[in-house]
Homo-oligomer: A and B are copies of this chain.
């Protein structure tokens, strides 16, 4: 289908690498906000966000939508519970799983940080690209992920 000559690949024109660099910047920025607003690390923040935005998720659910493995989620949940931001309720039908939800305090911290992150990201968009175009780009991004997935779990 394509007989285009293989282009010379360097880090700065290899999109997967650029995506990694970008994500690293996003993570560092996020971490700085999270640290300024609460005593949490990035993993804990991600788990709290996943639970707060949709109460009732189990650890496995959180693992599925997150770039963390179950080890990290398990530890993050423990510390969030200890910190009083999350509570765990063992499922009555299946004693292996527990549904997680944020306490009032957890919800409040989540809402506060989410608002700050959202504001920063939104403002970074203004004047560069329309929200519609950006949404379109995001869809492409997501599709990429699906395409790449088969390579990922060999």
Contact = CB atoms under 8 A, between A and B. Distances in A.
A75 interface: no
Given A131-B15, A145-B26, A67 B20 contact: yes
A128 B137 CA distance: 12
A16 to B, nearest CB: 4
Contact of A124 (B4, B22, B65, B151): B151
Interface residues of A, number: 62
Interface in A102-154: 114, 117-118, 120-121, 123-126, 128-129, 131, 134-135, 137-138, 140-145, 147-149, 151-152, 154
A94 B134 CA distance: 45
Nearest 7 pairs between A and B by C-beta? A23-B23, A24-B67, A124-B147, A16-B26, A20-B23, A124-B148, A10-B53
Interface of A: 1-2, 4, 6, 9-16, 18-30, 32, 46, 49-50, 53-54, 65-67, 114, 117-118, 120-121, 123-126, 128-129, 131, 134-135, 137-138, 140-145, 147-149, 151-152, 154
A83 B94 CA distance: 51
A120 B152 CA distance: 10
Contacts of A120: 148, 151
Contacts of A144: 22, 121, 124-125, 128-129, 134
